[in-house]
Amino acid sequence: MSLDKKDKLILSLLQEDSTLSVKEISEKIGLTFTPTYERIKNLEKSGVVEKYVALLNREKLGINIVVYCNVRLKEQSQNTLKDFENYISKYDEVQEIISLSGEYDYQLKILANDIYSYNHFTVNVISNSPHIGQYHSSIVLAEVKKSTKFKLD
């Protein structure tokens, strides 16, 4: 899908605040209601806008630990990779699963209430995966920049 300047403006506004009304967006981008509405619907239908979500403050919810866990599997066969992905995807503590090239096969972003709950997760979930050969955890000390916004030129 080819995006013009107005589409990119709409996307930038929605990334900042997805609760903006079509009327508010149309006023900010200099179009009337109907073409703005149609553009937003086209962005949704084409999959450029996947979904709308609320970003929660994890610390206010008592989720105080963020860990990046690098995982090396015992083998890298297609079945083993899929089995591991299916196994680890079931856990809500795992926020992201990224397949990597290089030394590790995956990087997991894991959230936990505290260090004890993270340790419980590693002992009972990660260590119990039959495919994991090795894992290494890095605990986040501070989130210097945290954004969900894409740069749109």
- 100: nearest Cα among 84, 119, 87: 84
Cα atoms in the 13 Å half-sphere on the side-chain side of 45: 6
Please check the confidence at residue 36 and state whether its pLDDT lies above 90. yes
Tens of pLDDT, residues 86-134: 999 999 999 999 999 999 999 999 999 999 999 999 999 999 999 999 9
- The CATH 1.10.10.10 portion of the chain extends over 5-45
For domain 5-45, say whether CATH 1.10.10.10 is its number.
Answer: yes
Rounded CA gap, 114 and 116, in Å?
A: 5
Quote the pTM value. 0.87
What is the pLDDT confidence band of residue 153, given thresholds at 50, 70 and 90?
confident
Work out the mean pLDDT of the chain and round it to a whole number: 96
Give the residue range(s) of CATH 3.30.70.920 domains in the chain: 59-139
Reduced to 3 states (helix: H, G, I; strand: E, B; else coil), residue 26 is helix
CATH T-level assignment (fold) for domain 59-139:
Alpha-Beta Plaits (3.30.70)
